[in-house]
Structure 1
């Protein structure tokens, strides 16, 4: 029995608030280790910003899931934003691979304050290090953060 309905329990969408999101690939498959697919996914993330639906703060595409820290605008709920993003990216993926990209549902955490925001951004960026994918985050290609100093 699926428990994805439990993820929605207590979900609230607050305009201008930050959310840490986790989206998992279907059957936890490593779909997000392909340069072509990852570039398309990142393009769709940026497109939501251009459409002024969100402001992206930090993200990392891990091989089988996405961590994303966003600020919600006033036009759509968090569920509607995720549904739009997952729909667009799933369509692109299915066109090339004829498989499902995303698992149903998503995890979200409403960011409480600036300290929580920075802690979540650090957690997200450090994911490839904790997973042993790289020894230095600069060696991992699929992440970005507003806190990155060039």
Structure 2
């Protein structure tokens, strides 16, 4: 069960930008395997193609995901639940496993303006550098941003 503190004050507002962070179950380094990271990216892109979201940036780290998007339809909770569920099913099928892929719940932050969007996108892109997975922004294969870094 997700922490009630994570849900306090949460609301969905179409047309607004959110950053969602979600963590793997037991902080497994599940996405250190490229095929698993690619699967997660596939389902974030599917959300865009279905018109639910418009992704601004993401990074798939070994044990968590940061995803920045504009909510286009549905609710924030439905978008996150659907994307996590689809990715979990696909990853379990790919790996011949069963069970939880994700910790329950997620952390979300509403982005107020474009200046905040760009700062958050830069934070997301720099996450692999801070973690020692890359030496420069743009080098990590599982990070993407709509805007060029700089």
TM over 0.5: yes
Question: 2-11 or 61-70: which moved more?
Answer: 2-11
CA distance in 2, matches of 1:126, 1:6: 27
User: Displacement of 1:98 after TM fit?
Assistant: 2.6
Cα distance in 2, alignment partners of residues 61 and 35 from structure 1 = 10
The Cα of 1:24 is off from its aligned counterpart by 0.4
Structure 2 residue runs without a partner (length 5+): none
Q: Map 1:39-50; keep pairs closer than 5 Å.
A: 39-50=38-49
Whether contact under 8 Å (1:93, 1:99) holds in the other structure is: no
- The separation in 2 between residues aligned to 1:116 and 1:33, in whole angstroms, is 29
Q: Cα offset for 1:146?
A: 0.4
Partner of 1:89: 87
Q: Distance in 2 between matches of 1:100 and 1:110?
A: 27
Deviations 1:39-90 (A, max 9, x none): 11111111111100000000001110000100001x3110010010011011
Normalising by the residue count of structure 2, what TM-score does the alignment of the two structures yield?
0.93
Mapped to 2, the partners of 1:124 and 1:139 lie a distance apart of 13
Q: Which runs of 4+ in 1 moved over 6 A?
A: none
> Residue 126 of structure 1: SS of its match in structure 2?
helix
Measured in 2, the distance between the counterparts of 1:9 and 1:123 equals 24
Pairing of 1:18-33 with structure 2 (within 5 A): 18-33=17-32
Inter-partner Cα distance in structure 2 for 1:84 and 1:3: 16
1:118 aligns with 2:118: yes
Matched with 1:5 is 4
* Aligned residue pairs, count: 147
Gaps of 5+ in 1: none
